[in-house]
Amino acid sequence: MSRKEKTPGHLGSKKTERYIQASILLSLLSRPSYGYELIQEISRFGFMEGQVPPGMIYRHLRELEENGLLFSEWETDGAGPAKRIYQLTAEGMEVLGFWIEYMKKQAEKLLQFVDMYQDGIKEKE
């Protein structure tokens, strides 16, 4: 493997869980959902590599509910076991808006960083 192909294993490893709560809130923006669906939805955002640990998601769901950002109720309709359905609250919508603004600012900083790198490479050519 060449130096260009190598990626430090620690890049962002401590920060991947940072975006789980924002991912949960965004997943609930369009419709109420239950834990298993949320795990699948969150995986597609790409903040965590591989399978999202269910225990981590349920821990965050409890915390978000305790903080009033979402609420849940048991759904007992239909066949199969009861499912806990989670829904975004007005406060959760507000916090999601703050997350989006934060992420936009971070994206701008990252793009500036990349631009500075590319400008530096051009100067060396």
Answer yes or no: is pLDDT of 121 > 80: yes
pTM as predicted: 0.81
Long-range contacts of 27-33 (CB under 8 A, 24+ apart): 28/70, 28/86, 28/87, 28/88, 28/92, 29/88, 29/93, 29/96, 32/85, 32/86, 32/87, 32/88, 33/85, 33/86
Higher pLDDT, 13 or 69: 69
Confidence tier at 88 by pLDDT (50, 70, 90):
very high
**Residue 15 pLDDT:** 63
In angstroms, the first-to-last Cα distance of the chain is 25
pLDDT tens track for 33-62: 999 999 999 988 988 888 888 999 999 999
Confidence tier at 16 by pLDDT (50, 70, 90):
low
